[in-house]
Amino acid sequence: MLLIFAGFALIALALLSSAGGRAAGGGVVLLGPLPIVFGSSVKMAKVALLLALVLASLAVLLALCWAP
């Protein structure tokens, strides 16, 4: 739940601080163990994949820490 609020806060901060320029985006869809990475540029696709790896690692770490 905290990560959801953090995501909304980051998006709101980015919207408020943007003064113009070129927008770029990307994302990752996980179908089981297979990631499908997309982005408006190769750089954004790499950033999306890196962020997905970090968040997946964090999820595994949190699951292991709170496991009984």
pLDDT of residue 18: 64
**pTM to 2 decimal places:** 0.58
The answer to whether 8 touches 17, Cβ cutoff 8 Å, is: no
Question: pLDDT digit of tens for each residue in the chain (68 aa)?
Answer: 888 899 999 988 887 776 667 778 888 887 877 788 888 888 888 888 898 888 888 888 988 998 77
Taking the domains of the chain in order of start, what are their residue ranges? 2-65
| pLDDT at site 59 | 83
Determine the 3-state secondary structure of 36 from DSSP.
strand
Looking at residue 6, what is its pLDDT?
92
Give CA torsion, residues 34, 38, 43, 47, to 10 deg: -50
Using CA atoms, how far apart are residues 54 and 52, in angstroms rounded to an integer? 5
CA angle 27, 45, 7 (to 5 degrees): 40
